Structure 1
Amino acid sequence: MATLTIRNLDDEVKQALRERAARHGVSMEEEARVLLRQLVQAPPPAQGRSAYQRIRDLVEPLGGVELEIPPRTEKAGERKVFDWLDDKE
């Protein structure tokens, strides 16, 4: 097994690691090993995928989500048009 020393670690990061390790009932060293293992074994992030595809990947295992679609109204297509050039004449 190899040994790794990490220098200049922010105090906030060290404290967060300490608290996380305490919640899991392990040493800081073991918690760091677990986190590093998970990081290097995780599949690479999906490159070039749309936001829709990434959200779907997160929601689909949960059974999907049904969103209520509001009823269409007559004003759905109406838009106010502002012509800023008219103000200068």
Structure 2
Amino acid sequence: MTKTLVVRNVDREVVRALREAAARHGHSVEDEHRDILRQALMRPPRRALAEVLAEMPNVGVDEDFARARS
């Protein structure tokens, strides 16, 4: 089910940028607005760095990654 969203009091510069982006992408301003909202709000949640690091496989010992001294 879709709903109508009305946004008021948007700065002229923002409206201009939205129109320019829509023109670049071959979209209507409304379509561009929908795409921006979708991209901003529907992306997967960001993962914490600790979570990403914890999932990395153990591929060696610390010495494998030591800098070579010249």
Match of 2:47 in 1: 46
- Relative to the length of structure 1, the TM-score reads 0.50
Which residues of structure 2 form unaligned runs of 5+?
54-68
Q: Who wins on radius of gyration, i.e. which is larger?
A: 1
Over aligned residue pairs, what C-alpha RMSD do you find? 1.9
Deviations 1:30-67, CA, capped at 9 Å, x for gaps = 000111111121122334x28xx7xxxxxxxxxxxxxx
Number of aligned pairs? 52
Q: CA separation in 2, counterparts of 1:25 and 1:16?
A: 14
Higher relative contact order (CA 8 A, sep 6+): 2
Q: TM-score, normalised by structure 2?
A: 0.62
1:23: which partner in 2?
A: 24
Using the TM superposition, give the Cα deviation of residue 4 of structure 1 relative to its aligned residue in structure 2, in angstroms: 0.2
